[in-house]
A = this chain, B = another copy of it.
């Protein structure tokens, strides 16, 4: 988090985080944020000139959080590539499960005000770029070893995983209401296993 030179500013940030995540920029109310932070409304504009400024503060925070989560995935590269991916996917899935509203928040805010993508580019472009480059290297080695298929590149794999891991959390409320059957395994747990299967089948060479 940002340095909390004092705890009222910090309380506002915390409350804003919650409010914006829950309701989005348009649905969020600065009065509500101030109330939840336990400060008068004027304080909010004292520390953060405008609602937009406050939003930006927490938006870059969320992006940094995601970026950090992504980069932590490719730490040690000793193990075989497939095992690496298995670990990475599992950690990423858990992160999304614990923060199900974060991806929706970012996607929603990007779509509703595309100019915000600039903030995103600046903070992740280099990080993710580097991450993809090193993943591509590892994949090239694994391809030469015959460990994985050669018809897939790092970025494609990256988006495969993102799609499979992110979507179920977005879809969870709909699933629970309209599709869930009694007594079945928890949806997300089931999805985690299925996602792994899909990706491993995709990566592993077949003999036909």
Contacts and interface: CB of A to CB of B under 8 A. Distances in A.
Interface in A164-198: 164, 166-168, 170-171, 173-175, 177-179, 190-191, 194, 197-198
A108 to B, nearest CB: 5
Contacts of A111: 101, 104, 173
**Interface SS of A by simple majority:** helix
Nearest to A23: B112
Interface in A77-120: 101, 104, 106-108, 110-112, 114, 117-118, 120
A104 B110 contact: no
Contacts of A24: 24, 26, 108, 112
Contact of A27 (B101, B107, B112, B168): B112
A190 B120 contact: no
A41 interface: no
Given A167-B162, A171-B162, A117 B26 contact: no
A128 interface: yes
Contacts of A117: 173-174, 177-178
Contact of A174 (B23, B120, B177, B178): B120
A146 to B, nearest CB: 13
Nearest to A124: B178
A143 interface: no
Contacts of A23: 26, 112
Given A128-B179, A198-B202, 14 more contacts: A24-B26, A104-B111, A106-B174, A124-B178, A156-B190, A159-B167, A159-B168, A162-B167, A163-B164, A163-B166, A163-B167, A163-B168, A201-B202, A207-B207
